[in-house]
Amino acid sequence: MAFIDYYKILEIDKSATEADIKKAYRKLARKYHPDLNPNDKDAERKFKELNEANEVLSNPENRKKYDQYGENWEHGEEYEKARKQQQHYQHSGGQQGGFEGFSGFSGGGDYSDFFESMFGGGASRGRGRTAAFKGQDFNAELHLDLKDVYTTHKRTLTINGRNIRLTIPAGVENGQVIKIAGQGGEGANNGPKGDLYLTFNIANNTNFKLDKHNLYATVDIDLYTAVLGGEITANTFDGKVKLTVKPGTQNGTKVKLKGKGFPVYKKEGEFGDLYISYNIVLPTNLSHKEIELFSELSKLREK
């Protein structure tokens, strides 16, 4: 397959930042996603090319190699790897002799030659010995809601046409990267597979603020409950609780509910705390009688 210009595929130029690449990929991936284009071979091909381009350009190291060798990659990076392997072999007491070069690269049909070389299609040989290379590491993002990571659960992801079943631990954090060994590109010449690095993108669509493992929330209470005390019902992340409000509670008073926060990553049964702040809501549209009573109370306080 001919050389593919990944910048052109993503409709960006070579000065694009990592953020530009991510934005361009997300926009085009939504446009050509197979679920939105059923039985559309052109969209399927475009979607594969987009994934291929993103795998290379979103990885700073791979992007550097791509920018350096371009369509002449076969005479660059892989040649250097093979030459170094040959030198190491000779220095470690292997059979002496000149470097014989390296073989061509096999393509699987779905990816360009450059992608095959980066993701495990290449091989290089020294005399009497074949060099093995680890497959390319993959990078992917998983978008979840905060409620999704409150409990440990299983999920199936589709990465480059492969279904990967994994367990997502409770308490995983936004921006956290998890390595899934052996789920990257195929190795060359019986080399090990690459790994998958999964970045979690977690949106908080709740009324709780999350700080590390602690949750924060504000609960409204009426003036009379604040003054006289009483019982209220408040929401926690996994249900409701009843709270006793002390007489004379001031606006902004905080109470701590131990163990009612967010789960701690990979520490089964361990949770942060929930901090609730009281917001005293003053009554409005007072009747004439209520105004008189408040006036009397005010006079009593002045004595």
Q: Which residues contact 194 (CB under 8 A, 6 or more apart)?
A: 119, 120, 134, 135, 136, 137, 138, 183, 184, 185, 187
Helix (H, G, I), strand (E, B) or coil at 6: helix
pLDDT exceeds cutoff 70 at 55: yes
Q: Are residues 257 and 169 in the same domain?
A: no
Q: Are residues 197 and 246 in the same domain?
A: no
Domain at 283, CATH number:
2.60.260.20
Query: Within a domain: residue 89?
Result: yes
Query: Within a domain: residue 233?
Result: yes
Query: What's residue 114's pLDDT?
Result: 55
Q: Are residues 193 and 222 in the same domain?
A: no
Band of the pLDDT at 128, cuts 50, 70, 90? very low
What is the pLDDT averaged over residues 173-194? Answer: 87
Q: Which of the residue ranges 85-94, 135-144, 194-203, 215-224 would you say has the lowest mean pLDDT?
A: 85-94
Task: Return the percentage of the chain with pLDDT > 70, whole number.
Answer: 78
pLDDT exceeds cutoff 80 at 2: no
Q: Are residues 155 and 124 in the same domain?
A: no
Query: What's residue 157's pLDDT?
Result: 87
Q: Which of the residue ranges 9-18, 27-36, 195-204 would you say has the lowest mean pLDDT?
A: 27-36
Measure CA 277 to chain center.
31
What is the pLDDT averaged over residues 128-139? Answer: 73
Higher pLDDT, 72 or 49: 49
Query: Within a domain: residue 59?
Result: yes
Query: What's residue 187's pLDDT?
Result: 83
pTM of the model: 0.56
| Angle at the Cα of 221 from the Cα atoms of 215 and 227, rounded to 5 degrees | 125
Q: Are residues 125 and 163 in the same domain?
A: no
Whether the Cβ atoms of residue 118 and residue 175 lie closer than 8 Å to each other:
no
Here the tokens at position 132 are 């093995």
Q: Are residues 29 and 117 in the same domain?
A: yes
Q: Are residues 127 and 44 in the same domain?
A: yes
Query: What's residue 123's pLDDT?
Result: 42
Query: Within a domain: residue 241?
Result: yes
Higher pLDDT, 78 or 162: 162
Query: What's residue 126's pLDDT?
Result: 41
What is the pLDDT averaged over residues 273-295? Answer: 94
Q: Which of the residue ranges 9-18, 78-87, 244-253 would you say has the lowest mean pLDDT?
A: 78-87
Query: What's residue 131's pLDDT?
Result: 65
Q: Residues, the chain, total?
A: 303
Of 22, 5, 26, 4, the C-alpha closest to 14 is: 5
Single residue among 78, 108, 131 that ends a domain in this structure: 131
Q: Report the phi/psi class of residue 112: left, alpha or beta, with left for phi > 0 and alpha for psi in -120 to 50.
A: beta
pLDDT exceeds cutoff 80 at 269: yes
Residue 29 CB burial class (10 angstroms; 0-12, 13-18, ≥19): middle
Q: Are residues 48 and 165 in the same domain?
A: no
Q: What is the pLDDT of residues 191-227, one digit of tens each?
A: 888 888 999 999 999 999 999 899 999 999 999 999 9
Domain at 102, CATH number:
1.10.287.110
Q: Are residues 112 and 185 in the same domain?
A: no
Query: Within a domain: residue 43?
Result: yes
Query: Within a domain: residue 195?
Result: yes
What is the pLDDT averaged over residues 19-45? Answer: 86
Query: Within a domain: residue 176?
Result: yes
Range of the domain at 146: 138-203
Single residue among 203, 225, 244 that ends a domain in this structure: 203
Q: Are residues 285 and 213 in the same domain?
A: yes
pLDDT exceeds cutoff 60 at 93: no
Total number of domains in the chain: 3
Residue 35 CB-half CA count within 13 A: 3
Query: Within a domain: residue 1?
Result: no
pLDDT exceeds cutoff 60 at 111: no
Query: What's residue 113's pLDDT?
Result: 56
Helix (H, G, I), strand (E, B) or coil at 232: strand
Here the tokens at position 118 are 């980066």
Query: What's residue 138's pLDDT?
Result: 87
Single residue among 203, 234, 250 that ends a domain in this structure: 203
Q: Are residues 214 and 296 in the same domain?
A: yes
Chain mean pLDDT for the chain: 81
Hey, which residues does 239 pair with through a beta bridge? 236
Taking the C-alpha atoms of residue 232 and residue 245, their distance in angstroms, rounded to an integer, is 7
Beta strands in 1-146 (DSSP E): 124-126, 129-131, 138-145
Q: Are residues 119 and 180 in the same domain?
A: no
